[in-house]
Amino acid sequence: MKISLLTDAPRHNLALMKISAWHKLNGDEVMLNMPIFSSDMRYASLLFDKNKKHFIADVYGGPAFEYSILPGEFENAKPDYSLFDLDYSVGYTFRPCFNTCSFCKVPKMNHPSITHNSIWDFHDSKLKKICLLNNNTFQDPKWKETFEEIWDADLTVIDENGYDVRLLDDEKANALKKTKFQGSIHFAFDRIQDEALVLSGLEVLKRHKIKARFYVLVGYNSNIDQDIYRCQKLIEHGFDPYIMPYIRNKSTKRFKRFIDSFMWRKYKTIKEAWQNYY
């Protein structure tokens, strides 16, 4: 059989990597993102709702489709890392996040497993880097086992989804400090009502001298004063904010340009800088 795999994912797509592995094991020919490829079966795994109409397939799935889930024969396959020519492994040691943030799709996703898994369920020992797709690693009661496996294998971590700063304590900070990361560690300050927990986590990060980038959600359930306030708190603790617009409109794009410009560093406060930004 000839299999066509389609996606809007910019770097990798775990579902398609597993589908590819299964089909290749069964002797099928697999092609990625070649719409004109004459095929017997087409799978589309999409991240973004806006792209649904741009892909024609026999089977659809991914975050753009609520409650989609891989059939068991695909889910249990080890990923085909050659599909995206990756030099790192990709997978989950813990899939769910038990928070119910209304802006997040994770609570609406079907998770094949809500228990802890080993990195060796998906990691290729020939690779020296690993990208964890966990939605909330520190909610896993066995989170430390994940780090211990990474340390034992001497792996470098690519942090794609970040960690929950609200759950941070000295033990978790020590684990992050001990781990080799490619690029920045990521956290988020998405909601003003989480301020006390976020500030507590910031103190832990400072105490352990951990450098990190903080995502700041704007354009959802906050006003400009709250957005400025959250950014100011992060800067006061020594962390740069990275603006993530929920809706990209004139005001959210302007605020993102403002923070990305770093012109605020010339002023005593973000508020003062914003008032002088044109």
> How far, in Å, CA of 105 to CA of 10, rounded?
19
Residue-wise pLDDT for 89-100, tens only, equals: 999 999 888 887
Residues 91 and 19 in one domain: no
Check whether residue 41 and residue 61 sit in a common domain.
yes
Residue found by looking up tokens 């903080």 in the block: 214
Query: What percent of the chain lies above the pLDDT cut of 90?
Result: 77
Query: What's the mean pLDDT in 215-224?
Result: 95
- 70 shares its domain with 109: no
The parent domain of residue 137 ranges over 87-161
- Count of Cβ atoms closer than 10 Å to residue 229 Cβ: 17
* Residue at 170 is within a domain: no
pLDDT at 208: 97
Q: Is residue 82 part of a domain?
A: no
Assess if residue 33 is contained within a domain.
yes
Entry pTM: 0.89
Domain count, the chain: 3
Residues 189 and 277 in one domain: yes
64 and 92 belong to one structural domain: no
For residue 110, the model assigns a pLDDT of 59
C-alpha Rg value of the chain to the nearest Å: 21
Q: Is residue 172 part of a domain?
A: no
**Pair 190, 277 in one domain:** yes
Tell me: do 102 and 191 sit in the same domain: no
Q: Check pLDDT > 90 for residue 70.
A: no
- Mean pLDDT on 3-10: 92
Q: Domain for residue 179, yes or no?
A: no
What are 157-189's pLDDT values in tens digits? 999 889 999 999 999 999 999 999 998 899 999
With respect to residue 127, please indicate whether it lies within any of the assigned structural domains: yes
Distance CA 39, CA 128 (A): 34
* Same domain for 98 and 48: no
Pairing of strands 180-182, 156-159: parallel
Q: Which residue type does 108 have?
A: K
Query: 80, 86, 90: which is closest to 20 by C-alpha?
Result: 80
Q: How far from chain centre, in Å, is Cα 229?
A: 25
The residue-averaged pLDDT of 1-27 equals 94
Residues 195 and 229 in one domain: yes
